[in-house]
Structure 1
C-alpha cells in the first residue's frame, strides 16, 4: 500500500490500526518474526525488548539513514539511534519515552531529527506503546511505527518562510514575538509617555510539564495570557515569546506603582490550579527595564529585562527585579570573562586547589575535592563563584570540568609512581555533560590514557542533575558506576530532593548541603533534617560528607549522629596541590 497518499489524520488512523495489530502479538518470538513483513513507501515499524535491551526493526530506518543492514551491530540497541539524535531533539525525545514508560502519556509519540551516515539530518515521526509488562507490571516490550517525514518537514519550513505574515501565537491567541516587537517599537517611538519592559516567566516550567503533562503546561500558558489580557491597558502590549516567556510593555509612573501592579498580575496568575486543588508551589519571575533612552534597540531592551529576571531565579518565591547599573557592571565583567576564558584555558591559568576531607572518627585525611581558581595575569586570583555561574550559562563549564578531571588523572598517576597510598579525589561535573552522548566514554578513555583506576576518582553531580530527565540521568550514572567511578550527590537537600530517589540511582556518597549547618546551632529543624539524611544514607550503604563545617559545635553534632566525613574551614581550606601533599606528609 502506498502511504504517501495519506494525509496526517489518515496516517494517525492507520497508526492506531497498527497498534491494535501489535497488541495481538502474544509471544516475544512471534513479535520478532512478524516484524519482517514488507512495508512500502516511507512507513516502517520497530520492536524494543527492554529486558534484553534489543531493538528489532525493518529496513526503513536503517536504509533511510544511509546504512546497510551489514553495517549495524548484531545486537541492535536503542543507543544506536539515540546517539544520532539532533541535540535540540534529544531531551524531548527521551522525555516522551519516559512519560509513556511512567504511565503519564498513553502513547509514545514524537517527531525528531537523526543524523544520517552522510551527516545530513532526517526527520522521523515515531509512535509506539507498551505491548507487554512483566509480572510486577513493569514495561517489558514496546512496539510501534516510524514514518520518514523529511519531505513534509522541508515543505513546512518552506511554508513557514512564505507565511511570515502570521502574527498570532497559536496556543494563547496573544501576539507572538514578531508582532510584539513591532507594536512595542511603535509605542515607544510614537507615544509621549514612559514605558517599562517586563520579561515574565515561570521558574522550572519544564518541571510543570513533567508533573502535569504538556496539557497541564499549555493550560497554564493560556491562563497567563488570559490574565495579562485583563490587566493590559490601552497603549500597552504583551505577547508570548517562546515557551513560558512573556514580554510586556507597560506604562511607567514610578517604581512603587509598577511593582504594586506586577504583584497584582502575579497574584492573579498564581490562582491557577492544575488539578484537584494541587498545592504545587508555582514561582513567577519578572525582570523589569525602565525605558529611558528611546534610541536603544528593542533587542537590547529585552536583553536587559531578561538579565534583571535572572537576578531572582532560584529564590523559590515570586518576585520582580529592576535592571540597574550593578547589572550593567556585571555584564561588562561577564563579557571580559567570556572574551578571555578560551585563552585562559589554553594558557593553563586555571589552577587546581584541593580541599581535604577528614574521617570523623580518626580525623585523618581520607580524600579531597578538586576545586578551581583562575590565576588571572592582571587581576590575580579569581574565585570560582565569579566565573563558574557564567560558565554554566554559556556551556564552557564542560571544558573546565574535563580539564580538572584530566589534571587529577595526571596527578593520581604521579602519586602512584611515587608509591603514595591512593586517595579518592572528587571532581565536580556539570549536568550539561548529560547532553553529550560521548561523555561516559570520554572519562573512561582518559583513565585508560593515564593508566589509573576509575575507583580513585569520585564524580560530584549536583542534585539538580536528577531534576529533569530522570531516566537519562539514571542511565548515565549507571554506566559510570559500572566502569568503576565513585559517584556523589553534591549539595543534597538544596533543590528538588527526593529521599526515595536515592534507592534508585547509583550513588556512593551524599554531600549534605552546607545551608543546613547554618541552622544547626540555633534550630532543631536543621538538626532533624541532617540526622534524617545521615540515617537514610546509612540504611542504603551510602557514605555521607558534611561540607561547609566551620565550628566545633557542628563537628560534635555530626560525629554524634554518625556522619562519615567532614569538609570545611574547621579542618582545612582549599589549598594548592603542593600544600596538600605537604599536609599529607606531615600527617604521615
Structure 2
C-alpha cells in the first residue's frame, strides 16, 4: 500500500473511531459511507455482519444478518472474524470479493481484519444496548413491563403533564378458564390480541404494560377513558382469523384520576391508591370497575385500620365465633352449625364484610382461620366436659392455605390439642370462579377426609362452577349458594331452580350431603322439600348468634 493510500486508510479509520465513540450522535448513513470507501479501497464486494444471542441460535439461524455494502459481485470470502462473548453472544463479520479479484497482500488483510473487529465492536455495543433494554423493560413474552410504566410516568412528570391523567390497573377475568378451554398457546394469542386492542384504545397519549400473569397497568388521557372502559367490560377477541374463532374477554379495573396538579415523588404513592382499587374491582361484586374516589378512600382508611389493629385484636381475643344453626327441615332440629367470625372492638360488633376482604389480601386471613378453628374447638371441648349437646361445626378456610404444604398437619394439631373427636369439625372451602389451585385443593380435601375431618364446598354455584369440582374432589357436603333460591321481584325462577334441582341430584348420586344456604322464606323451604334437600341454613330459622345463645338453643331442642 503506497503512502497516500495508507494516509487515506488512517483518515477513514479515524473517522470511524470518532463515530463509534460518540453513540449519542451516531449517524448510520455517514458510517455506511465510510464503510463503502473502505470497501472500494480493498476491492471488497460485500460486507456482512451477523448477531446471535447464543451458540444454539447461531446453529439454528435465529439471529440478525446485516448487509451494509454489496455491489452485487461478492462471491469469494476473504475475511471472516467470529467472536463469542462471555455472555454467549456470537458476532460474525465477513468480507467478500469478486471471484476474479486478485489476492490481497497480508498487510491489507490485517487492515481489513482490524476494520472487521471495529465493526463487531460497534454491532456488539448497539445490539447489547437493545438486549439490555429488552431485558430491563420487557418481560419474557415481550410485553412492556412495570419498569417501562415507571419510566413513562417519570418522563411525563418531568414535562409537567402528569396531573389530570388517568392511571389504571386491570386483570383479565377468569383467564384461567380461557387457557383451560382453548389451550395455553392459543390463550397467549388471545392475551396478546387483547393487549394490542387496549393499546390501540390508549393510543400514543398513554401506555399499557404488563405486570405479570393476566395483570396490566397503564395510563391514558381522560378523553379516552370511556373507550377503555367499554373495551374492558367485554369484547370478543379473534384468535383464529381463518375460521373467525373468538372468545369473550372481560376485565376488572381500578381507576385513579390524578389530581391537577399532581406531585409525583415516589411510585409507591401512586400504587398505594391504584392497587387496592384494582384488588377490590377483582374480588368484589358489581361490574368490576372501581374508581379511587372519596368513597374508595374511606374504604382504604378502613383497610389501614384493620391491618393496624389486627395483631392486637388477635392477641386479645377480640374475634368471636357466632354460630348459625343448620336445621333438618323434616324435624326442625339443629343438626349442625357454621362458625362465622365477628370482631368485637370497643364494645362495637364489626361485621366480617368490613375486615375479611382486607385480611384476604395477605396471609393474615390464615392466622384468623386457625384462631377461629381453635375457638370452635375450645367451645366443643367445654360442651363435652359439661355433657352438653354437640353438633358438627363448620369452619371456613381461605384457599391461601393451599400453598402451605403442612396445612393438614397444622389443622389436625389444633383439633387434637383440644382432644375433641375430629368428626365434630367440618372445613369449608369457598368455590372460586377460576378453580385456582385445583390440584392442591383436591390433595388437601383427600388428606382431611383421610384424617376423619368433614369437608364442604361453600357457595357452590356462585361462580363459574366446573363439575370436576364435584366429580374429582371427595367432598362430604355441598353448600348450595343462596343465589339459586327465588328473590321477590326477580323473574328467574324457571332458570335457576332446575339447576339447583340437578345439583342436588348429582350430590346425592355422588354420596354427598346438601346444605342450602340463604333460606329466608316458607317458599324456600317448600322448594327444598320438593327437591329432597333436608338441611337448611338461613334467617328463616336462625341468625348467627353468640355461643351462649347457641348453647341454650341446643339445650332447649334436646330437652
TM-score normalised by structure 2 residue count: 0.70
Shift of 1:207: 3.9
Separation (CA, whole Å) in 2 of partners of 1:440 and 1:226: 44
* Aligned-partner SS, 2:388: coil
Shift of 1:183: 1.8
Shift of 1:446: 2.2
Specify whether residues 414 and 472 from structure 1 end up closer, same or farther in structure 2 by C-alpha distance, changes over 3 A only: same
Aligned pairs for 1:92-171 (under 5 A) are 166-171=135-140
Deviations 1:193-216 (A, max 9, x none): 731112233123344344444423
* Aligned-partner SS, 1:394: coil
Larger Rg: 2
Separation (CA, whole Å) in 2 of partners of 1:165 and 1:202: 24
Separation (CA, whole Å) in 2 of partners of 1:237 and 1:572: 53
Separation (CA, whole Å) in 1 of partners of 2:394 and 2:246: 38
Quote the residue 2:221 is aligned against: 251
Gaps of 5+ in 2: 1-53, 61-127
Equivalent position to 1:576, from 531, 546, 557: 546
* Aligned-partner SS, 1:272: strand
Aligned pairs for 1:34-433 (under 5 A) are 166-171=135-140, 173-192=142-161, 194-253=164-223, 258-263=224-229, 265-266=231-232, 270-273=236-239, 280-292=247-259, 293-296=261-264, 297-313=266-282, 320-377=289-346, 380-433=348-401
Quote the residue 1:479 is aligned against: 447
Separation (CA, whole Å) in 1 of partners of 2:481 and 2:472: 20
Specify whether residues 281 and 455 from structure 1 end up closer, same or farther in structure 2 by C-alpha distance, changes over 3 A only: farther
Contact 1:440/1:479 (<8 A) preserved:
yes
* Aligned-partner SS, 2:238: coil
Shift of 1:349: 0.4
Separation (CA, whole Å) in 2 of partners of 1:314 and 1:557: 31
* Aligned-partner SS, 1:555: helix
Separation (CA, whole Å) in 2 of partners of 1:274 and 1:436: 40
Contact 2:484/2:496 (<8 A) preserved:
yes
Separation (CA, whole Å) in 1 of partners of 2:507 and 2:556: 32
Separation (CA, whole Å) in 2 of partners of 1:272 and 1:282: 10
Deviations 1:437-456 (A, max 9, x none): 11101122222222221111
Shift of 1:272: 3.3
Quote the residue 1:123 is aligned against: none
Deviations 1:391-436 (A, max 9, x none): 1112211111111111222222222222234311111111111111
Specify whether residues 250 and 374 from structure 1 end up closer, same or farther in structure 2 by C-alpha distance, changes over 3 A only: same
Quote the residue 1:559 is aligned against: 529
Say if 2:495 is the partner of 1:534.
no
Contact 1:431/1:465 (<8 A) preserved:
no
Deviations 1:501-544 (A, max 9, x none): 31221111111101122448842222212211112212222111
Separation (CA, whole Å) in 2 of partners of 1:243 and 1:197: 19
Separation (CA, whole Å) in 1 of partners of 2:284 and 2:416: 42
Gaps of 5+ in 1: 1-6, 14-158
Quote the residue 1:549 is aligned against: 519
Specify whether residues 274 and 337 from structure 1 end up closer, same or farther in structure 2 by C-alpha distance, changes over 3 A only: farther
Specify whether residues 344 and 316 from structure 1 end up closer, same or farther in structure 2 by C-alpha distance, changes over 3 A only: closer
Separation (CA, whole Å) in 2 of partners of 1:465 and 1:8: 45
Separation (CA, whole Å) in 2 of partners of 1:541 and 1:213: 33
Separation (CA, whole Å) in 1 of partners of 2:325 and 2:426: 14
* Aligned-partner SS, 1:452: coil
Deviations 1:532-579 (A, max 9, x none): 111221222211111111111111221222112011111111111111
* Aligned-partner SS, 2:239: coil
* Aligned-partner SS, 1:585: helix
Shift of 1:496: 2.5
Shift of 1:173: 4.2
Specify whether residues 172 and 317 from structure 1 end up closer, same or farther in structure 2 by C-alpha distance, changes over 3 A only: farther
Deviations 1:284-334 (A, max 9, x none): 223221111420444322442333333432579975443211111111111
Contact 1:545/1:563 (<8 A) preserved:
yes
Separation (CA, whole Å) in 2 of partners of 1:345 and 1:555: 38
State the aligned residue count: 429
Contact 2:236/2:247 (<8 A) preserved:
no
Quote the residue 1:441 is aligned against: 409
Shift of 1:465: 8.9
Specify whether residues 194 and 391 from structure 1 end up closer, same or farther in structure 2 by C-alpha distance, changes over 3 A only: closer
Separation (CA, whole Å) in 2 of partners of 1:226 and 1:468: 26
Contact 1:197/1:302 (<8 A) preserved:
no
Specify whether residues 480 and 301 from structure 1 end up closer, same or farther in structure 2 by C-alpha distance, changes over 3 A only: same
Separation (CA, whole Å) in 2 of partners of 1:403 and 1:267: 39
Shift of 1:8: 9.4
Aligned CA-pair RMSD: 3.0
Shift of 1:186: 1.9
* Aligned-partner SS, 1:270: strand
